Amino acid sequence: MPGERVGSVRPTQLLSTYGVGATVDLPQVSVMVMGLDDWPVAQMEDIREDRLLHVVRHVLGPQVRQMKAAPLSEDDGLLGRRFGAAPGDGVPVAAFPRWLVCTHCRLLAPIASTLFEFKGDAYRAERSRFVHTNCVRPGTMRPEAIPARFLVACEHGHIDDFPWHQYLHGEGIECPGPLELRDVGASGEAIDIRLKCRACEKTRPMALAFSDEGRQKLPRCRGWHPHLRVAPAEACGEEVRPMLLGATNQWFSKIYSALSIPVSVDPLEQMVSQDLTSLFHGVESAREAGLARRGQSRYEPFTDAQIWAAIDKLRNEDSADSVSPHELKLPEWRLFSRPDPAKNNRDLKLRVVEPPA
Mean pLDDT by 10 residues, the chain (357 residues): 68 87 89 90 81 86 85 53 50 92 93 91 81 80 90 93 92 85 77 90 92 88 90 88 88 87 75 79 89 89 92 73 79 85 79 87
Query: Sign of dihedral through CA atoms 207, 213, 218, 222?
Result: positive
Residues 6+ apart with CB under 8 A from 325: 55, 58, 59, 256
Distance between CA atoms of residues 18 and 252, nearest Å:
9
Distance between CA atoms of residues 195 and 105, nearest Å:
13
Give the CA radius of gyration of the chain: 27
What average pLDDT does the structure give for the chain?
84
pLDDT at 72: 73
pLDDT at 266: 77
Q: What single-letter DSSP state applies at residue 255? A: -
pLDDT at 187: 64
Write the CA distances from 350 to 48, 73, 262, 334, integer angstroms.
22, 36, 11, 12
pLDDT at 190: 76
pLDDT at 102: 94
Q: Is the Cβ–Cβ distance between 171 and 154 less than 8 Å?
A: no
